Chains A and B, each alone.
Chain A
Amino acid sequence: MSTTRTETGPLVDGATGKWEIVIGMEVHAQVLSKAKLFSGASAAFGAEPNAHVSFVDAAMPGMLPVINRYCVEQAVRTGLGLKAQINNVSVFDRKNYFYPDLPAGYQISQYKSPIVGEGEVIVDLPGGRAITVGIERLHLEQDAGKSLHDQHPHMSFVDLNRAGVALMEIVSRPDLRSSEEAAAYLRKLRAIVRYLGTCDGNMEEGSMRADVNVSVRKPGGPLGTRCEIKNVNSMRFVAQAVEYEARRQIDIIEAGGKIDQETRLFDAKKGETRSMRSKEEAHDYRYFPDPDLLPLELEDAWIEQIKKSLPELPDDKKARFMRDYGLNAYDAGVLVQERESAAYFEEVAKGRDGKLAANWVINELFGRLNKEGLEVGKSPVSADALGSIIAMIGDGTISGKIAKDVFEIAWEEGGDPKEIVEKRGLRQVTDTGAIEKAIDEVIAANPAKVEQVKAKPAMLGWFVGQVMQATGGKANPKAVNELLKRKLAL
């Protein structure tokens, strides 16, 4: 497998000099579908063991697989989202090995002829940098069941609920160069499939998991021997696994050793990778075309129809946000990470100050959601409510500071922000008479400060603070500033 990336990436230090980490990923994404890939059984998560098992899933004698058309459509949709080649003809193969959670003794997968060919993903990195990661292929395959080793003193149990669930294996080129890039790639891939509605991206439930191929080399040198780290199931673990594995490999090479090609496991508790099996122990899967299934033939018209139904994807949405709302790349990137967040933002920003809306959504809303561990869809403050808060800032009804209080009240107690402002008398004081009165009182009470501010105009802030305090924060700060300057003759 060759890398499509030409520029040298970030480097890490070793005892003998700089090293470059080379990473490729195979991401397994569970297809969002009601039924499994080759049987009508439910693909839902979280049922009682063996509640979703058809005769096909249990590999009963004489049972035959029948392809689920919707899963194929989902794979095509994903391929289109990855700007990839959709193959009009693809073939399902059998990957043969024995394991109790693999009832047929083979997994139906796609080997030589996958449904999706080459594509690319643009990954944004902090600092406005972006890299293009090549996609080598995407293929459809069945998930296996689950062995349960903790249910009985000397027996293992098998749960086949997952057996036969459709997975998309998305294989990247070794175009990633750091743990940060690897995590960012996975995050982007997750955003794309979630936008497309082809995978829920739920890593905790295992709907998305990554096999990470890591090797190290001297900058510009030939690719090193890689190790594959299996089944890493969070962005954080991907980053940890890469860091640990790269360091391990550098240490071995610098100590005069060599890397053995092998499959490794990531131990999330210890934050390290461990050898699982060597290349010599690798299975011979004896792939051959599944004679129970015909080659999958897709018509261009059908592919075209799916293409037309694609939603706006993160990259396009980001560009539009920058263009239409005047956002910077970073803010736009943050807002489009989740389809729901982007939609929330657009509702808030509709007919209002886009930049202000972006600030509020990113800082106040996301900050609060993160603190509470909530999804945007579960926000107690609706987009409509936040929009009306921002509108009130815009027309001077409330100050930015008061707006935060209103947001807090709306979050905790609910209610229409406009009513909150009215009922609690939070409307900003723009009546210059009332402000002047407060200013006069502050000036009269602090003659010493008045002298000082004449020498040092920066002390105006102190007066602003006093006036705001005196007006319960409701005075229009702009008006306070202007009036103070005039009265103090600054």
Chain B
Amino acid sequence: MSELTDLTIADARDGLKKKSFSARELADAHIKAIEKGRALNAFVTETPDLARKMALESDRRIAAGEARPLEGLPLGIKDLFCTKEVLTTAGSHILDGFKPPYESTVTRNLWDAGAVMLGKLNMDEFAMGSSNETSYYGPVTNPWRRKGANTKLVPGGSSGGSAAAVAARMVLGATGTDTGGSIRQPAAVTGIAGIKPTYGRCSRWGIVAFASSLDQAGPMARTVRDCAIMLKAMASHDPMDSTSVNVRVPDYERAMTGEVRGLRVGIPKEYRIDGMPAEIEALWQKGIQWLKDAGAQIVDVSLPHTKYALPAYYIVAPAEASSNLARYDGVRYGLRVPGKDIISMYENTRAAGFGREVQRRILIGTYVLSAGYYDAYYIKAQKLRTLIAQDFDQAFEKVDVLLTPTAPGPAFGIGEKTDDPISMYLNDVFTVTVNLAGLPGISVPAGLNNEGLPLGLQLIGKAFDESTLFRVGEVIERSAGPTPRPGTWWEV
């Protein structure tokens, strides 16, 4: 049955429709893969019973001719999405034992579309990290290894469990969230596709908040088409989220015509950063060539404020996080470490419940919002954010889409960067701009480097123009050729 786990979402959908296999068989194949793949630590919670129950319902509907768009397709859910009565941890000790009495809008949309839940996926604590090493539940291991080496590599982050589970064929697809690159960077370093949609495209209701003005949910899957299929189901206008936008969700698959002739592709010169590895530069050039060969027009553009994006991001995101995470106080849910009075209970709970990176960001955020520093940091960062958004507006007067690398390098070793937060933060250098401007960005697998590790290319689109990203993304995917499987070295 193992071949069932190799299917794309699109193929599995067809197979179910043709009754080549049942949803139950598809679910069982994945449940088995998850059991065999526990060494990767991709899951915080496995829900095989729930998966089988949902699959049986899918089989009933398929038999009755009532199949919904994602009927019977088994998916993994990043543990940042609240799932009703299923443990939801956000990768943090502080949410110990938290089983939400509600279902997030995005996951609700998926289940309403017939998808099957395999479990909750590991992640950096509160989505703060680029390597999945800040999780209270331990690091996730990337299914990819350097050629001829046994060094365990990180799967990127913060949606590291999602990326690893998809790449290792434990799930057909997974949800991720992206605040500064948390879908795109792990997708790139695990050889899969992942899109951060336009801010407001997916509801944030029921997703544990990290930085509210930047957080956005999106799909991660092995092909661009699979992401398109998932996003169509995930996206919706939600009156419960005041920042969700009431625009029609197009039929993304229909937009994937394979045609990019005459399309204007912008190459932002500021993304050619100091010290960028040659292989990343080479990858970028390859991407440019592929699109040129497909008939697209390449245009050099400038995004002059790019260099301020990372510092602005590391002010805005921690500021919002410091406030968003104030609710984890031991009073109502999750962990409580008693103290002699209320203040010491707060202190004990938050000292034990939050890991070092989360504490660091709460401190940074609290600092930048403090009286006397607010104008110098937060206000200035907001101004930069406006300038960065204007850069994109101007660029999009000349081009239809931008092409950049997704991450400044391939997957690195577990523990390699944990002592150097700045070098860790640099992982987001190509991705944060998109969050700051609220634009959609997709990472597309673009082949392997000399060490046999996957690399990704990023396409950035106009607001609510995910269709173009899927269309161009598929062209790059096709040009790069199929990404090989990472092997099965981890299986027991």
Contacts and interface: CB of A to CB of B under 8 A. Distances in A.
Interface in A82-98: 94, 96, 98
Contact of A61 (B82, B319, B342, B346): B82
Interface in B204-221: 204-209, 211-213
Contacts of A291: 211-213, 243, 320
Contact of B243 (A60, A98, A294): A294
A120 to B, nearest CB: 31
Interface in B227-250: 239-243
Nearest to A160: B332
Interface string B75-100: 00000011000001010000100101
A232 to B, nearest CB: 26
Contacts, number: 98
A345 interface: no
6 contacts: A94-B323, A103-B331, A105-B326, A286-B369, A288-B319, A291-B211
Interface stretch (B293-301, B370-378, B470-478): B370-378
Most buried by B among A61, A64, A105, A292: A61
Contacts of A67: 242
B275 interface: no
A293 B366 contact: no
A158 B331 contact: yes
A293 B242 contact: yes
Contact of A98 (B102, B104, B329, B369): B329
Leading 8 A-B pairs by shortest Cβ distance: A105-B326, A291-B213, A291-B212, A286-B369, A59-B327, A62-B206, A61-B208, A284-B371
Contact of A55 (B95, B101, B325): B101
A104 B327 contact: yes
A59 B204 contact: no
A393 to B, nearest CB: 61
Interface in B347-401: 366, 369-371, 374, 378
A407 interface: no
Contacts of B425: none
B308 interface: no
Contacts of B290: none
A63 to B, nearest CB: 8
How many B residues touch the partner, as a band? 35 or more
Contacts of B346: 98
B240 A64 contact: yes
A12 interface: no
A60 B323 CA distance: 14
A104 B331 CA distance: 11
Contacts of A63: 205-206
Nearest to A282: B371
A61 B90 contact: yes
B67 to A, nearest CB: 30
B327 A105 contact: yes
Interface in B94-116: 95, 98, 100-102, 104
B326 A106 contact: yes
Nearest to B333: A60
A103 B327 contact: yes
Interface string A413-452: 0000000000000000000000000000000000000000
B240 A284 contact: no
Given A98-B346, A100-B331, A61 B243 contact: no
A241 B208 CA distance: 45
Nearest to A158: B331
Interface in A278-295: 284, 286-288, 291-294
B242 A66 contact: yes
Contacts of A65: 242
B119 to A, nearest CB: 18
B204 A64 contact: yes
Contacts of A293: 242-243
A66 B371 CA distance: 28
A363 interface: no
Interface string B166-208: 0000000000000000000000000000000000000011111
A100 B342 contact: yes
A104 B333 CA distance: 12
Interface string B303-343: 00000000000000001101101110101110000000010
Given A62-B204, A292-B209, 19 more contacts: A60-B101, A60-B332, A61-B88, A61-B90, A62-B81, A62-B82, A62-B209, A65-B242, A66-B239, A96-B323, A96-B369, A100-B329, A105-B327, A106-B326, A284-B371, A286-B366, A288-B319, A288-B378, A292-B242
Given A62-B82, A64-B240, A64-B242, A284 B209 contact: no
A4 interface: no
Interface in A302-359: none
A131 interface: no
A58 B104 CA distance: 16
A156 interface: yes
A67 B205 CA distance: 15
Given A61-B98, A96-B323, A288 B208 contact: no
A292 B215 CA distance: 11
B327 A294 contact: no
